[in-house]
Structure 1
Amino acid sequence: MSDSPQVAIVRRFYDAKGDLEVIRSVVAADAQWDVVESFPRGGVYDGLDSIIDDFFPFFGEFSEFRAVADEFFEDGDHVITLGRYLGTTRSGNATTSRFAHFFTLRDGKIARLQQTSDTLPMARALEN
């Protein structure tokens, strides 16, 4: 079974693995990222430039970091993913943390991401 167009867009976002050219092609210029407060740089980010310039720098705390989506659920213009963050901090601490991402798509692009995750493993890895 092939992906729906909405799931294909979200899958492409995950497959980008930080490639800003790909991210800019799948995320709307006026997108909103709503990241749980206890996540590194948690908060609400309005606009793709803010997402990239103000939220994405937390990746610098890691020598390796990726989000792996394990399951996709679609309802019209909404895609929910369940997955795991996998990372190794610059100080060598490995971390794994579960997440749920709630995407809203508009005109073939991601217009909103609401994120929640188990932030404790990541906080512990970053404090040591």
Structure 2
Amino acid sequence: MSNTDIVKRMYAAKGDMNVIRSVIAPDAQWDVTEGFPHGGVYNGLDSIVNDFFSFFRDFDEFWAEGDEFWEVDDKVIALGRYQGKAKATGDRFTSRFVHIYTLRNDKITRLQQTADTVQISRALGKN
């Protein structure tokens, strides 16, 4: 399985924590843009799953779709879109993102994320 295939598997999981846990390394780091729900830096799989991904509770639907992928050495760069529906407002949104993944031994060890946070904030009723 290529590194790109592993990243695509995570996107296809659409929030299934069993799949997400299977592709992220125990010592991974998630660096999420400020302004994104639960934006910040998370160290370790448990913190990523329990602290960061808990933002799913604010949405009736939320998923990431990768549109373009580039793989160079241990990095995968993905351009794509978040899509979803906020619980509080019922508003749907589409928000563009760039994800830069680092992988080691068939596991994601780091995510650097940037995204159009305005669209998500509006759907949550925060703008």
TM-score computed with the length of structure 1 as normaliser: 0.94
The two structures, once aligned, show a CA RMSD in angstroms of: 1.0
Match of 2:6 among 6, 9, 13: 9
Match of 1:87 among 84, 89, 107: 84
Name the residue aligned to 2:98.
Answer: 100
Alpha-carbon distance between aligned partners in 2 of 1:24 and 1:59, rounded to the nearest angstrom = 16
Name the residue aligned to 1:123.
Answer: 121
Q: How many residues align?
A: 125
Match of 2:57 among 43, 57, 60: 60
Does residue 28 of the first structure (1) align with residue 37 of the second (2)? no
**Partner SS for 2:124:** helix
Measure how far apart 1:19 and its partner are. 1.0
**Partner SS for 2:15:** coil
Does residue 40 of the first structure (1) align with residue 42 of the second (2)? no
Name the residue aligned to 1:70.
Answer: 67
Alpha-carbon distance between aligned partners in 2 of 1:61 and 1:76, rounded to the nearest angstrom = 36
Does residue 111 of the first structure (1) align with residue 109 of the second (2)? yes
Task: Write the letter of the residue equivalent to 2:40.
Answer: G
Aligned-residue sequence identity (percent) comes to 59
After the TM superposition, list the runs of 4 or more consecutive aligned residues in structure 1 that deviate by more than 3 angstroms. Answer: none
Q: Deviations along 1:21-78, whole A, 9 cap, x unmatched?
A: 1111110011000000111110000001000110111111110010000010010110
Alpha-carbon distance between aligned partners in 1 of 2:59 and 2:48, rounded to the nearest angstrom = 18
Name the residue aligned to 1:18.
Answer: 15
Task: Write the letter of the residue equivalent to 2:8.
Answer: R
**Partner SS for 2:30:** strand
Alpha-carbon distance between aligned partners in 1 of 2:53 and 2:74, rounded to the nearest angstrom = 25
TM-score computed with the length of structure 2 as normaliser: 0.95
Alpha-carbon distance between aligned partners in 2 of 1:116 and 1:105, rounded to the nearest angstrom = 18
